[in-house]
A and B are shown apart, each in its own frame.
Chain A
Amino acid sequence: MLDTSVMIRDAAKKLLDQKRVDLIIGFETGTLPLRSTPCFVRTSEEAEKLIWNASCENNLARYLRGREEKVGIVAKGCDTRSIISLIKEKQVAREQVFIIGVPCHGMIDRRKIEAKLDGKEILEADEATERVILKGRDFTETINKAEFLHNSCNTCSYRNPVIYDVLIGDKVEEKRGIDEYGEVKEFEAQPADRRWQSFTNEVSKCIRCYACRNACPLCYCQECFVDSSQPQWIGKTTNLSDASIFHIVCAFHTAGRCVDCGACDRACPMGIDIRKLTRKIEKDVKELFHYQAGVNLEDVPPLAAFSLDDPQQFIR
């Protein structure tokens, strides 16, 4: 981890000194153990702050849009896929971004660790290659990273950056034989009323803070449909019907674009399983239109194209 941090710093310093980029977006140590926070570096002295560890979970592609300067960005596999989506949607230009690709072993989910620790506060975390040593007031515990990864990391099959200008370290082996959509299939197999019940159970937790929307690198409408008052599509309260429509439409808007980085899921303070919806759409898009978002720069996004023999059994 330390090596990777040093390599990122060196790459960043070089880029800034040679004036190849004006800004580097990366991670710095957060204020709490097991937390990293996005940081914006403009000089090579500042580049010393840059770090890399298993808590660099944010999708930094979120910060790419609307910049005039040339930007270097530290990006994991999923982040590079988001960047591809943004390039395809002409939100950023490929020439404007310098991608510092970092192969990723998966990011740790603090909530899973907190659940295991049963309320005990972590005061210090020491990270090694495969394990993390957690220290608190009167306990020390060693955990295996692989058991505490984010759900989106568990089903990830793009751990290596898809596009990059420089790669930090060696590529990691991609996971094989994972049932990518296992959870979706399980949900599909339930009876309709049970599905509706569990959907409304999830949605009823929503406090409409829009953290999911703000964390998503692809939610960038100038005016979001939830903010619009002419017409006012849905009410602004936590009313169940309004919240349901909010989540359905939000998920629908990611159709053919979502790369399952899990940013929405991680941002949700209420622990709503937002990926349950986005994953289903991802699966459908793959099955119906043979498209996967953010895997290359060439494929045309599915909702910007059509084929004469698209499925239409549902239309009379």
Chain B
Amino acid sequence: MRINKMQGEKLDEWEPKIIAFLCNWCSYAGADLAGVSRHQYPPNTRIIRVPCSSRISPLLILKSLQRGADGVLISGCHPGDCHYLSGNYVARRKFAILNNLLEYLGIEKGRVHFAWVSAAEGKRFAELITEITEEVRALGPAKELVKKLD
């Protein structure tokens, strides 16, 4: 959970840190396939494997942003493909509300990403991570929810 900034890190060496919560059954397997198939993608993403996309509580997303993640990705099975049949449908409703709320409060668009990635989409996973990394890089270091001790 704790993401420490590297010691002596300089601003021009800044690299985005992205936390990806991937569901065990589809997206995590997709990430695995990307590796096995030797697809290249930037190393900025730290993957956390979760049982299902519906396991993701808004607290996990907010806590990541608070502790220094510059971006968060939540990814699960495509609709209809959920290992637990309806987990991703339930998650979709939850994320719709959360996504709107974060935007409403003025948290930069492009910090929190949602995607469906199947176990067969290794190439797509690599492309997705590349896209998201570049988007977060363009935004610069996260500011809004980062916890400052003062």
Chain A residues with a Cβ under 8 A of chain B: 187-188, 192-197, 199, 225, 231, 233-235, 239-242, 244-245, 248-249, 251-252, 255, 277, 280-281, 284-285, 288-289, 302-303, 305-308, 310-312, 314-316
Contact = CB atoms under 8 A, between A and B. Distances in A.
A interface, by DSSP: helix, strand, loop or mixed? Answer: helix
B96 A248 contact: no
Interface stretch (B3-11, B44-52, B106-114): B106-114
B94 interface: yes
B82 to A, nearest CB: 11
Contact of B100 (A280, A312, A315): A280
Interface of B: 1, 58-59, 62-63, 66, 79, 86, 89-90, 92-109, 113-116, 128, 144-149
Contacts of B79: 308, 312
Nearest to A306: B89
Given A196-B144, A239-B149, A308-B79, A252 B115 contact: no
B115 A315 contact: yes
B115 A241 contact: no
A235 B113 CA distance: 25
A233 B63 contact: yes
Given A225-B59, A233-B59, A245-B62, A193 B92 contact: no
B80 to A, nearest CB: 8
A177 B104 CA distance: 25
Nearest to A240: B148
B86 to A, nearest CB: 6
A302 B92 contact: no
Given A248-B58, A252-B98, 19 more contacts: A188-B104, A192-B108, A194-B106, A195-B106, A196-B105, A196-B107, A233-B63, A241-B147, A245-B145, A284-B101, A302-B93, A307-B89, A310-B92, A310-B96, A312-B79, A314-B96, A315-B92, A315-B95, A316-B128
